[in-house]
Each structure stands twice: as C-alpha cells, then as structure tokens.
Amino acid sequence: MKKVLAFGASNSKTSINKVLATYAAQKLKNVQVIIADLNDYEAPLYSPDREIEIGIPEPILRFDELLASVDGLIISLAEYNGNYTTAFKNLFDWLSRLNNQNIWKNKPLLLLATSPGGRGAMNVLKITKEIFPFFGGNIIADFSLPKYYENFHEGNITDVSKRAELNGKIVQFIEVLKTS
C-alpha cells in the first residue's frame, strides 16, 4: 500500500493548514496516511555556527527519515508576511543541509495553501512553486483555498467549485502516486 505524509507548514496548534492537509489526505483511498505536526520536529534556529557546533539536530534527521519512508506528500502552506512561517522555514533550511538539497526526494507532491484572507496564501504558494523544483519537489498539482473561515465548515469545503477543484487535483495526484 502506498504511503503519503501530510502536514501543515505551521506550528500553530490550531493550524488551518493542518486541517486542510488532513482533509485532502483523507480523500485518498487505499493509501496509508501519516499526518505530521511540525511541533514534533522542532529544532534550534538554524545558523551556520550552530551547524558546525551541533551538526544536524535529531528532529531534522527524524523528519528526513519520515520523508524517505513515504511515497508521496501533501503539504499545506501557511503564509506569514507573504512567505513561510518561521517554523517551516527553519525546518526547510536545516533539511537543505542534507542530501545535496534533495529535500523532497522527487516524490509526488500535492501543494495546498489556505488563509483567512481573500488571497488564500497565494504568495507563499507562488514562491514555493518556483523554488521547490530546485529541492527535489515534484509538484503534481496545487490548490489555494481563500477565506478559510467562510469556505471550510464541519470538516468540508463548502464552496462547491472550490471543492470540485480540489477533488480534481487529488485525482491528478493519485494517478501519479499509483505509478511512483
């Protein structure tokens, strides 16, 4: 059975992106889903000096092992000031010091993003689509849900066209996952 890792790129205990990543992952049939919480992989703030001093922290090595153990990924990006959350950027920077920057290991990746605002974290999604391919990111499809608190209720996307759009992206992702 294929394995998929899903997580929100946030360390908020009430992360709406973790909810969205989990929602998308639950739509995968006959797939083993692992939901990760970035709080379980917290590492000291990256610095070159710290890297020399302590090497790669254990939580980063653990997260890298988790990435290696799955066949595909669903990441939902939270946006802080048009960019990554501090927690995700720190994880990203540490991971980039391993495996010749092949962070995402060319595994099929469904990229999501949501925020309470009308742009639905489109800035961080755009940045990510540009840079992830340089880090082994094999992005199969991407999706942004704007106005999370208007469009997501009781475990479902209530906007019909947005729900259909995500379902279509999930189908694309599954097709690639099956052959990976």
Ligand X SMILES: Cc1cc2nc3c(=O)[nH]c(=O)nc-3n(C[C@H](O)[C@H](O)[C@H](O)COP(=O)(O)O)c2cc1C
Residues in 121-180 that interact with ligand X by CB under 6 A: 121
Q: Compute the half-sphere exposure of residue 108: CA atoms within 13 Å on the CB side of its CA.
A: 19
Select from 12, 94, 10, 3 the least CA-distant residue to 45.
94
Q: Does 109 bind ligand X (CB under 6 A)?
A: no
How far is 175 from 142, CA to CA, in rounded Å?
15
CB 45 within 8 A of CB 14: no
Placement of tokens 């980063």 in the chain: 60
Does 82 engage in binding with ligand X (CB under 6 A)? yes
Q: Mask: binding to ligand X, 13-52, rule CB under 6 A, as x and -? A: --xxx-----------------------------------
Q: Does 73 bind ligand X (CB under 6 A)?
A: no
Q: How far is the CB of 122 from ligand X (least distance, A)?
A: 8
Residue in this structure with the two tokens 């949501």, named with its chain if needed: 114
Does the protein bind ligand X through residue 78 (CB under 6 A)? yes
111 binds ligand X (CB under 6 A): no
Instruction: Tell me which residues touch ligand X (CB under 6 A).
Output: 8, 10, 12, 15-17, 78-82, 115-117, 119, 121
